[in-house]
Structure 1
């Protein structure tokens, strides 16, 4: 198929997925109608990016619905239960939303939408408040990293980095029970999760996404406080580089008292922000190393030479489109255009080959999880013929 024809096919497929999963009131995209009928924070941010790539103003509405759940403190919940608010009470303390948060990808989404010509000025204060909350209430004074108080906050639910919290070998059913137990031990202040005696981690990957989104938001708001706070977090992240493991380490603050440097792909998210060129070079080399992350169908979520690597299991080695997209952005922003193109090719190949799955097996390309999944529409960001530089703004529709 010629590149232009393939581009149109990918964009059409991405639009069909988003259209199928769109909820008109209040205006957001469910990840998958059967498996994931609620709104998730970072999913919606990636959906907004994909909508904007297609020139559709629903990306703005998606972000508006994210911030409609925001608390006065600035805290942004990771889930909204719009269709059935009381369903949240099975896990959380309040109706209609969760008590925890998720990677604040709204900083990046707002920058992308603004650069593509969408009016998002009315959301800048809410986004700033969301990031300020994390800097003020979640930065650990000892490590300098941003704390997460439940594995779900990272989005990487079953990561091998959490293996210290359960008995070996890993058993999904046992870990699912443990995650629910960790929900019950969360401490709440002013309606938001603030701590957890059972799980409190200074996460290198989550910290990197907070710093990155602060920098992204500051790129169009010119907020120097965001940049200053991000710089402090980046300095802390780089202080936790582990040379022997070629990765950045977490710091366990409650739970097993050790650091976690299992080589997972999210552990390399600091390539988005690190100010140490050597660390970034080593990390990118790991991403493209066939004995580590670079598998036949894209970067694996866990390095292939880790004893915990399982390419077919949830967050134990499978490939995720949003992770590959973030690495593609990191490569683009750091001028690694050839690497960005290689990542884009794997993102496109993985999404199309898996029928736009939630995730896929990086060894076989087989789709895993929900099919189709909303964030697989990020394939539209990796259209054939792209040269690894910033994509051109899409034409606006109805804006």
Structure 2
């Protein structure tokens, strides 16, 4: 099953009531553009982040297809020899103390196969093939002239191969994340139990920079950071080698693997567009979908849950990650996921953006990072999945409410899913980029 035709129909112009929002979103992306890439936010996140760039490219294609292509090309220019795409590519022009942990912590220059530019050593969710295909479809003529797909395809394939081979820590075919930051949902309640086994570094051994730009009540705790740094330092000190013995935290995450599967479908379309054989990618997608269903889906719950590789048990935490397999073409339980999203835990018809964590849970926190607030990117993914599976009325309603939220609260990093209050930093790039995409959605 393909995600879309090779040539995308012309994007519609923004409706009259979206003109101001459209212009404001463009201003955010222009302001946050650096030489070849877009920072997520000028002060809080002053470098290039991996899955941010994927979502940003999806929106940038409506502003400049060349700039969207360069966004992805810049990121993959920092790919490691083993295929991994680092979660941060550091800008040498930014002061070294502007973000922590910075290049001095990760020491990528000492790692075998790392690029010349300083990077982190961990990765983020593989949304890049989806973004590359969408970017190509926005302007195939320009993409052909620049050789965009033929140049990017081998790098995307190597990236997926790294995840499929080096990160199959559970031995069942699914990719494992080895750090909460790799999930994109850093302090998700789903990670509380696996993280409880990790001894944090002492709190006086590091100085956080994020709290200079965001309220402590809206960010992960110092205890969280202590454990994050322990995991990252252990991985670094092992030379960024991948094995269950190195990784005290190893999780098969539904969001991560859903994007990998959707990405394999996108790679099949890319392969066909450049005269390569798409069949291996489709076979991989089918195999991964079967593993996703057998390993992470709970029929009684109508929900996907992460699996802890070390214990072999599902982590039964009701987070937005469990709904993200909606992006998988041909998913056999799409209707069940819609029913779960409509229920009291996520309240699809009311909450906007969809909450990152169970609205009915006693420890839901509507303003603390991934412990309750709604994020535009995960709601965009669910919207994409609704359209993919024919739920057009729900998709259109979610789109309209997302745009209304952003118009009212601004391009915030995340939002209270019920009141709409904005949290985190402002002028956030993927919020602006995905708003552009939603404005132009047919």
Pair in the same fold by TM > 0.5:
yes
Give the superposition deviation at 1:62: 0.5
Label 1:264 to 1:70 Cα distance change in 2 as closer, same or farther (>3 A): same
| Superposition pairs of residues 199-238 of structure 1, within 5 angstroms | 199-222=249-272, 223-238=278-293
1:249 aligned partner: 305
Give the structure 2 partner of residue 308 of structure 1.
363
Task: Quote the Cα distance in structure 2 between the aligned partners of 1:341 and 1:237.
Answer: 28
User: How many Å separate the matches in 2 of 1:171 and 1:97?
Assistant: 22
Distance 2:367 2:337 in 1: 24
1:128 to 147, 157, 160: 157
Deviations 1:20-50 (A, max 9, x none): 00002xx100011111001000101111111
Contact 2:265–2:282 (Cα < 8 Å) also in 1 = yes
**Mapping of 1:94-133 within 5 angstroms?**
94-95=108-109, 96-117=118-139, 118-119=142-143, 120-121=148-149, 122-133=151-162
In 1, Cα distance between the equivalents of 2:288 and 2:38?
Answer: 31
User: Contact between 2:32 and 2:38, CA under 8 Å: does it hold in 1?
Assistant: yes
Alignment check: 8 A CA contact 1:358 1:369 kept:
yes
Please say if residues 164 and 174 of structure 2, whose CA atoms lie closer than 8 Å, have aligned partners that are also in contact. Answer: no
The runs of 5 or more residues in structure 2 that have no matched partner are 1-13, 110-117, 198-218, 273-277
| CA shift for structure 1 position 356 | 0.6
Deviation at 1:270, TM superposition (A): 1.0
Question: Of residues 234, 252, 257 in structure 2, which corresponds to 1:185?
Answer: 234
> How far did residue 143 of structure 1 move?
3.4
Relative to its length, the structure with more strand (as a share) is 1
Query: Structure 2 vs 1, CA of residues 206 and 285 (structure 1 numbering), >3 Å: closer, same or farther?
Result: same
Deviation string, structure 1 residues 183-205 (Cα, Å, up to 9, x no partner) = 12226777565554320111122
Q: Distance in 2 between matches of 1:369 and 1:171?
A: 12
Answer with 331-340 or 217-226: which moved more. 217-226
Alpha-carbon distance in structure 2 between the residues aligned to 1:174 and 1:336 = 41
Query: Quick check: 1:157 aligned with 2:179?
Result: no
| SS class of match (2:61) | helix
The 1:217–1:190 alpha-carbon spacing in structure 2 relative to 1, beyond 3 Å, is farther
Answer yes or no: is 1:137 the counterpart of 2:146.
no
Q: Alpha-carbon deviations, 1:305-359, whole Å to 9, x = none?
A: 2233211111011000110111111111112111211221232122222211011
Taking the aligned partners of 2:72 and 2:346, their CA distance within structure 1 comes to 36
1:274–1:280: 8 Å Cα contact kept in structure 2?
A: no
Partner of 1:395: none
Aligned to 2:424: 369
Q: Is the 8 A contact 1:160 1:316 kept in 2?
A: yes
Residue in structure 2 matched with residue 341 of structure 1 by the alignment: 396
Matches within 5 A, 1:323-362: 323-362=378-417
> Aligned partners of 2:189, 2:235: CA distance in 1, in Å?
21
What are structure 1's unaligned runs of at least 5 residues? 392-399
Moved over 4 A (4+): 84-87, 187-195
> Which residue of the partner structure matches residue 394 of structure 1?
none
In the TM superposition, residue 86 of structure 1 has moved relative to its aligned partner by: 6.0
Q: 1:346 to 1:193 in 2, by over 3 A?
A: farther
Using the TM superposition, give the Cα deviation of residue 268 of structure 1 relative to its aligned residue in structure 2, in angstroms: 1.2
Report SS of the residue matched to 2:41.
Answer: coil
CA RMSD of aligned residues (A): 2.4
Is structure 2 residue 61 aligned with structure 1 residue 52? yes
Match of 1:5 in 2: 16
Which residue does 1:93 correspond to in 2? 107
SS at match of 2:308: strand
Cα separation, 1, equivalents of 2:428 and 2:25: 10
Kept in 2: contact 1:238–1:274 (CA 8 A)? no
